[in-house]
Amino acid sequence: MIKVIVCGAYGRMGQEVIKAVSKENDMEVVGGIDVRGVGDNILGVVIKDNLEAVIREKEPSAIVDFTKREPAIENIKIGVKNNVPVIVGTTGFTQEDLAELKNFIEENNGRVLIAPNFAIGAVLMIKCAELIAPFMDNVEIIELHHDGKLDSPSGTSIATAKAISEKKKFTPAVYSSEARGKTVEGINIHSVRLPGLVAHQEIIFGSLGQTLSIRHDSISRESFMPGVIYALRNIDKIKGLVYGLDKLLFPGGLVI
């Protein structure tokens, strides 16, 4: 039985994780951690605020974190110190954060997966973009999220830009300004934040006389759950710090 503690259990993503894990015959949620709703019962899970105490009490197989940047960093370190693999869907980490976490995880023989997007379709979108990149002249990314998302550009759009740039180095056709968005790896990214949205991204390639667009839409938070469940079932494949769900989906790399 895979025993799971959910950090951010009171939030919308945390509740989706509790619901999804509870449906699996080989998994169970043994604890929920949040600073809100302490003592409340969420889908049969009592919310507590002390992760380390719940780890000692429940001896979990894994921690799933959907919180915010600062508490997620602390939760990762607590999980690593207690020899519990951590699966992280929280975004907004800086490169400095990731470098610090990598060192901490390696020094303590930890196992952590940080994924900017758990929707399998979003991972496939990025892989398609890698295939297209060498054959086109320019590319821009439009990412659209709900108005509660704090970080911008999104972790998915940054990961997309970096993946594309590994296949081909691009220079923007028109350089970005503050009004247009931000430029990552030579690729302009435009961020939209509106109520009614969940998580959406469009990659638009342009070349002489043509454009090619790839779009992925998460129309509900359920879209992220198959990726979370897949990661939980493959926690033994996580060694050190693994960044991106694609590293588990395509452990040998995708030849394109």
Active site residues: 145, 149
Give all strands (DSSP E) within the chain, no chain letters.
2-7, 27-33, 41-42, 45-48, 62-65, 86-88, 111-114, 138-145, 182-184, 187-193, 199-207, 210-218, 240-243
On whether the CB atoms of residues 113 and 64 are closer than 8 A, the answer is no
DSSP class per residue in 45-88: EEEES-HHHHHHHH--SEEEE-S-HHHHHHHHHHHHHTT--EEE
Three-state DSSP class for 212? strand
On whether the CB atoms of residues 198 and 219 are closer than 8 A, the answer is yes
